[in-house]
Amino acid sequence: MKKSRGRTGRKRRRKRLKSFMDGVNCSHKLEYINLQKWLKERGFEDSNLRPAEFWETGRGLMTTKALQAGDLIISLPEQCLLTTGTVLSSCLGGHIGKWKPPVSPLLALCTFLIAEKHAGDRSPWKPYLDVLPKTYTCPACLEPDVINLLPQPLKKKAQEQKMIIQELFTSSKAFFSSLQPLFAESTESIFNYSALEWAWCTVNTRTIYMKQPHRECFSLEPDVYALAPYLDLLNHSPNVQVKAAFNEQKRSYEIWTNSQCRKHQEVLICYGPHDNQRLLLEYGFVARDNPHSSVYVSADTLLKYFSPLDKQREAKISILKDHDFLE
């Protein structure tokens, strides 16, 4: 009897472990129930995807049925997408239209996210905002002493990324102040640096590419960002292939898989053929066994291996520079 119970116990443990490795369904959680209702009101038909927690990737989407190459993973109606068009149709639209010089599409989206997050329960986007990460792990969000521990090429890129956000914040202060009529509280307390950093990372890590027609109220920077609720829970794998595009006839953004995926497995998509430095910079994570791995070697390291007695030293350095091998 004891032997039998031990075997049964091991079976149960294996079953629990397998379940955890496959993913723990989280669709019963209130924030996901509210998100599903909100999406349904906007025309999203319930798919075979369920929010889940996974051992390796954290939060993601699992499939309730086996997927074959050529299957549609998700079709998200245009009404669910958050674009600059969404921003202009909000109370921010009039202020953006009047502001000179024109703001960038990126700043418009960041401003909208900050304003809607501040609105809390009054925001029609609350069900989506509630499932967005509260913090990000991009190098731009790291403390300076942590950035100093990174390899030199990555450290340089991280510092550049931090500077981009800092410059955007400094150059946008006057624009933020112009929005004061919309708020009871001081815009300085609402549109502070940490709020902009969070919004910038949200746009940078979670948007899909969706080209918008140029509008005169925006600067000439490309207007290609769209936030896609629910769809943006799909995690990255460099080893899968998908086809993603906006379907003009159905007016929805679709992702089709070119890979197989078994029932209750995590559905993964590919964000692009990125090495781990790019993945960490843009999305805040690295991929295991990444076939696109690269080693970034600084110019100082390379130059150590040139003999000072080499008469062709300068010519060699010049050739490396001309072909961007010192970058």
Burial of residue 246 (CB within 10 Å: 0-12, 13-18, 19+) is: middle
Same domain, 269 and 302: no
Per the rule left: phi > 0, alpha: psi between -120 and 50, beta: everything else, 302 is: alpha
* Whole-angstrom distance, CA of residue 28 vs CA of residue 187: 37
Residue 148 lies in a domain: yes
Nearest residue to 98 via CA among 218, 221, 220, 223? 218
Question: Both 221 and 317 in a single domain?
Answer: no
- Strands 268-269, 235-236: pairing kind: parallel
Q: Is residue 68 part of a domain?
A: yes
Residue 296 confidence (pLDDT) = 84
Looking up residue 54, the CATH number of its domain turns out to be: 3.90.1410.10
Distance CA 92, CA 90 (A): 5
CA–CA separation, 133 vs 129, rounded Å?
9
Q: What is the pLDDT of residue 3?
A: 44
The answer to whether residue 2 is domain-embedded is: no
pLDDT at 33: 96
Same domain? 33 vs 110: yes
290 within domain boundaries? no
What residues make up the domain containing 52?
A: 12-283
Domain assignment present for residue 98? The answer is: yes
pLDDT at residue 56, as a whole number: 87
The pLDDT tens digits along the chain (327 residues) read 444 455 555 655 555 545 445 689 999 999 999 999 999 999 998 779 999 999 889 999 999 999 999 999 999 999 999 999 999 999 999 999 999 999 999 999 999 999 999 999 999 999 999 999 999 999 989 999 999 999 888 999 999 999 999 999 999 999 999 999 999 999 999 999 999 999 999 999 999 999 999 999 999 999 999 999 999 999 999 999 999 999 999 999 999 999 899 999 999 999 999 999 999 999 999 998 999 998 887 777 877 888 888 888 888 888 988 988 776
Distance from C-alpha of 215 to C-alpha of 122, rounded to nearest angstrom = 28
Query: 311 and 237, same structural domain?
Result: no
Asked if 51 and 76 sit in the same domain, the reply is: yes
* Cα–Cα distance for residue pair 327/315, rounded to 1 Å: 17
Both 140 and 58 in one domain: the answer is yes
Would you say residue 4 lies in a domain? no
Q: How far is CA 134 from the centre of its chain?
A: 13
Whether residues 184 and 277 fall in one domain: yes
189, 318: one domain: no
The sign of the torsion formed by the CA atoms of 227, 232, 236, 239 equals negative
pLDDT of residue 207: 95
Same domain, 213 and 319: no
Instruction: Note the pLDDT of residue 225.
Output: 95
**10: CB partners within 8 A, 6+ apart:** none
Residue 267: predicted pLDDT? 95
Find, among 50, 75, 55, the residue nearest to 257 by Cα.
75
Let me know whether 169 and 310 are in one domain. Answer: no
**pLDDT score of 1:** 44
The C-alpha atoms of residue 75 and residue 245 are separated, in whole angstroms, by 10
- Is 211 domain-assigned? yes
Tell me the pairing of strands 58-63 and 72-77. unpaired
Number of compact structural domains in the chain: 2
Which tokens sit at 267? 């559905």
Which residue, 35, 215, 159, 183, is CA-closest to 111?
183
pTM for the whole thing? 0.87
Assess whether 210 and 322 both reside in one domain: no
Backbone angles phi, psi at 305, to 5 degrees: -95, 5
- Residues 257, 305 within the same domain: no
The tokens for 147 are: 């950035």
Answer whether residue 288 is part of any domain. no
